[in-house]
Amino acid sequence: MKLTPKQLSELIQLAVQSRPDDTIGCDGCHELMEEFAQAELDGVEISDSLLVVQAHLAQCRCCRAEYKALIEGLREISH
Ligand SMILES: [Zn+2]
């Protein structure tokens, strides 16, 4: 199936709409990931600015893998 640019933009629109919470993308996630990991390790309440990280991690497998590695690294430091 060949898509016209219009159909393509509609598809992208649909994809965006189905993920309304993921507003930061991978770059934004990387910037906030460490702060988010630290908050989680400290057991402090996740602020609104970090909730977007959580939303992104829920949807992005590669960031989730990085986050897991980061958490493990931070756990080792704190022990
Ligand atoms: Zn990502």
d(CA 43, CA 65): 21
pLDDT, greater one: 23 or 45: 45
Question: Looking at residue 71, what is its pLDDT?
Answer: 94
Question: Looking at residue 19, what is its pLDDT?
Answer: 52
Question: Looking at residue 14, what is its pLDDT?
Answer: 67
d(CA 33, CA 45): 15
How many angstroms is it from 79 CA to the middle of ligand 1? 28
pLDDT band at 25 (very low <50, low <70, confident <90, very high): very high
How many angstroms is it from 69 CA to the middle of ligand 1? 14
Read off the pLDDT of residues 47-74 as tens digits, 9 standing for 90 and up: 888 999 999 999 999 999 999 999 999 9
Q: Is 31 a residue whose pLDDT tops 60? A: yes
Asked if 67 and 57 touch (Cβ cutoff 8 Å), the reply is yes
